[in-house]
Amino acid sequence: MVIKKQQAVAMVPAAAWGIRSSFQSLVALLLTILVVAAIYLRQNNEQLFDYGTSTSSGPLTSRCNLFSGKWVFDNKSYPLYKEKECTYMSDQLACEKFGRKDLNYQQWRWQPHHCDLPRFNATALLEKLRNKRLVFVGDSLNRNQWVSMTCLLDSAIPSDFKSMHQNGSINIFKATEYNATIEFYWSPLLVESNSDDPVNHRVPDRIVRVQEIEKHARHWIHADYLIFNTYLWWRRRQMTVLWGSFENPEDGFYKAVKLPRVYEMALQTWAQWLEVHVNRNKTQLFFMSMSPTHQKAEKWGGMEGENCYGETEPVYEEGFMGDGASPRMMRVVESVLDELKTKRDLNVQFINITQLTDYRKEGHPSIYRKHWETITEEQLANPKSYSDCIHWCLPGVPDVWNELLYAYILQL
Ligand SMILES: *[C@@H]1O[C@H](CO)[C@@H](O)[C@H](O)[C@H]1NC(C)=O
Ligand SMILES: *[C@@H]1O[C@H](CO)[C@@H](O)[C@H](O)[C@H]1NC(C)=O
Ligand SMILES: *[C@@H]1O[C@H](CO)[C@@H](O)[C@H](O)[C@H]1NC(C)=O
Ligand SMILES: *[C@@H]1O[C@H](CO)[C@@H](O)[C@H](O)[C@H]1NC(C)=O
Ligand SMILES: *[C@@H]1O[C@H](CO)[C@@H](O)[C@H](O)[C@H]1NC(C)=O
Ligand SMILES: *[C@@H]1O[C@H](CO)[C@@H](O)[C@H](O)[C@H]1NC(C)=O
């Protein structure tokens, strides 16, 4: 039984001045017990589960911060699935398959300081997603999280009841029995850019149309759950912005705009699109904070010139912050989301994975993945030179991002 606080408060005066007959006293007593029980239950709920920085109108409010905690080695409950058994695993993330021998990176559990994360239950999530669309929108880190999500759900779905299919920028994993889709939409800058091709997006001169998003957004706007990210592709001093179209580039107006201003412009475009087009009664919105990179070992006491290559343990120092995330850009996201909430009545849940991810310097594929380019003799002699210290091995860190997302989606 859960009674909302407003109801509970409304009952107190009634109980206080209603004492005339013994019948009324009895009613008053019962009401008082009810109020006390309701408040007690509420407080217990608040201690068990957490809504982080959320002040949303959900049934529970924040007391424990899910994002503040520590990693605990737990080889009893982790990994949540086996790399080999994930039907749609990506070769970019399959570190064991590509020769990684130390596998402890698969077995760390995130332990918030003042509460527990609910255990991921694939069946419960699939039930929640019945007849629904969940869409990840963003860059390759968001794709990393999407692959993790398909692996987490995979084992609960018999092989004849799932499918995977790609069409242009969109990848669709479907659980047919549930009529549920878990999708990934490639748009690394959220707004339009010349990096929007899902395959050939490594262009020397990046150009972004900061005011245009419709070309992408019309594909995802009607989803039931939207999980956004965008960060890495903006990490440069400035960007070339185009006012005009890619079809007639010579008619356009170009200007170089510095960071973080250009990032803010793009997020404003995104926010305005949501404000106008999203169905507030249907769609739940999430924004994943930035996933830090681990390119500079001296930040965690390693040798200068080294990176994540060869790391086998997380950073244990509480509050550690390397230089693989930009607090400045995080503040931009926060202020855009804050304005959406306070001025436009639109809630986007911020999933703050940055700090917890920063500890995991050992979770990257480094050399243990499929590389698209051929690796030269020279590179082979110096493995750190071609190590991937951006993405994450699976099973691994993104599974925990999804456990956090799961807690919000199921409103635990
Ligand atoms: C994210 O979480 C960490 C750990 O709790 C906290 O230190 C940091 O301030 C949070 N960042 C934002 C932008 O909320
Ligand atoms: C789990 O880890 C502990 C401590 O490192 C080790 O002693 C034990 O053998 C491990 N168990 C399994 C099943 O890997
Ligand atoms: C997972 O969720 C399903 C559906 O809600 C439930 O029937 C099942 O008992 C749960 N499993 C566990 C281990 O909690
Ligand atoms: C299947 O799910 C889609 C949303 O993804 C929904 O539009 C459609 O109505 C669902 N079909 C059935 C038969 O419920
Ligand atoms: C691919 O997407 C396009 C445009 O969204 C659509 O018209 C087409 O039917 C889709 N093709 C398949 C095979 O789903
Ligand atoms: C959303 O729900 C509110 C209250 O139930 C209703 O007044 C409004 O028309 C709904 N809006 C849409 C777009 O369905």
Mean of the pLDDT values across residues 306-328?
96
How many Cα neighbours within 13 Å face the side chain of 35? 17
Q: The tokens 């009545």 sit on which residue?
A: 345
Q: Tens digits of per-residue pLDDT, 197-256?
A: 999 888 888 999 999 999 999 999 999 999 999 999 999 999 999 998 888 878 889 999
CA-to-CA dists, residue 315 to 72, 106, 358, angstroms: 12, 15, 8
Report which bound ligand comes closest to the CA of 123: 3
Residue 214 Cβ inside 6 Å of ligand 3? The answer reads no
Residue 131 Cβ inside 6 Å of ligand 4? The answer reads yes
Residue 167 Cβ inside 6 Å of ligand 5? The answer reads yes
The per-residue pLDDT for 181 is 98
The per-residue pLDDT for 61 is 33
Non-local (6+) Cβ contacts of 78 within 8 A are 106, 107, 108, 109, 395
Instruction: Output the CA 54–ligand 6 centroid distance in Å.
Output: 23
Q: What are phi and psi of 168, to 5 degrees?
A: 60, -125
Catalytic residue flag (residue 219): no
Mean of the pLDDT values across residues 397-410?
97
Substitution candidate for ligand 6 out of 276, 280, 281, 347 with most atoms within 8 A of CB: 281
Considering 196, 224, 388, 399, which one is annotated as catalytic?
388
CA-to-CA dists, residue 286 to 13, 80, 142, 269, angstroms: 40, 23, 12, 16
- Determine what percent of the chain is predicted with pLDDT higher than 70: 84
Amino acid found at 404: L
Q: The tokens 């919000």 sit on which residue?
A: 408
Instruction: Output the CA 74–ligand 2 centroid distance in Å.
Output: 9
Helix (H), strand (E) at residue 402: helix 397-409
Q: Tens digits of per-residue pLDDT, 40-62?
A: 444 444 333 433 333 333 333 35
Instruction: Output the CA 104–ligand 2 centroid distance in Å.
Output: 10
Taking 90 as the threshold, does the pLDDT of residue 7 lie above it? no
Q: Tens digits of per-residue pLDDT, 261-276?
A: 999 999 999 999 999 9
How many Cα neighbours within 13 Å face the side chain of 282? 13
Q: Whose CA is nearest to atom 5 of ligand 1?
A: 68
DSSP line for 344-386: H---EEEE--HHHHHT-TT-S-BTSS--SSPPPHHHHTSGGGG
Q: pTM to 2 decimals? A: 0.86
Non-local (6+) Cβ contacts of 121 within 8 A are none
Report which bound ligand comes closest to the CA of 79: 2
Catalytic residue flag (residue 140): yes
Dihedral of CA 117/122/124/125: which sign?
A: positive
The per-residue pLDDT for 16 is 37
Domain residue spans of the chain? 49-411
Q: Which residue has the higher pLDDT, 172 or 202?
A: 172
Catalytic residue flag (residue 364): no
Considering 50, 139, 140, 148, which one is annotated as catalytic?
140
Residue 124 Cβ inside 6 Å of ligand 3? The answer reads yes
Taking 50 as the threshold, does the pLDDT of residue 300 lie above it? yes
Q: Tens digits of per-residue pLDDT, 361-392?
A: 999 999 999 998 899 999 999 999 999 999 99
378: which 2 tokens? 């020279």
Taking 50 as the threshold, does the pLDDT of residue 5 lie above it? no
151: which 2 tokens? 């692996």
